[in-house]
Amino acid sequence: MSISGVFNHAILGIQRGFAGLNRDSAQLASAKAMTEGPSATPLVDSKINAIQIEANAKLVSTTDKAIGSLFNEKA
């Protein structure tokens, strides 16, 4: 996989993580959650999504450093 492919994949992972966090927070804020108490599932899922975002952010950072190294070697 090319560096740009890895970068694009990481960005997509971050976007999916944020979409999951939005979904989980909506479930927690719903009227059902308020009347019956929050379910553990959205809380666990939000933690998983946060870890996904962190991991993909590190991948973006690593990719950025690799691209920087390549440019420095070409210069």
**Over the stretch 17-41, which tens digit does the pLDDT of each residue have?**
999 999 999 988 885 656 666 677 8
pTM of the entire predicted model? 0.78
User: Residue 75 has what pLDDT?
Assistant: 64
- How many degrees, rounded to 5, is the angle at CA 12 between CA 7 and CA 16? 150
37: left (phi over 0), alpha (psi -120 to 50) or beta: left
**Domain limits, the chain:** 3-74
Q: Where are the alpha helices (DSSP H) in 1-75?
A: 3-29, 31-36, 40-74
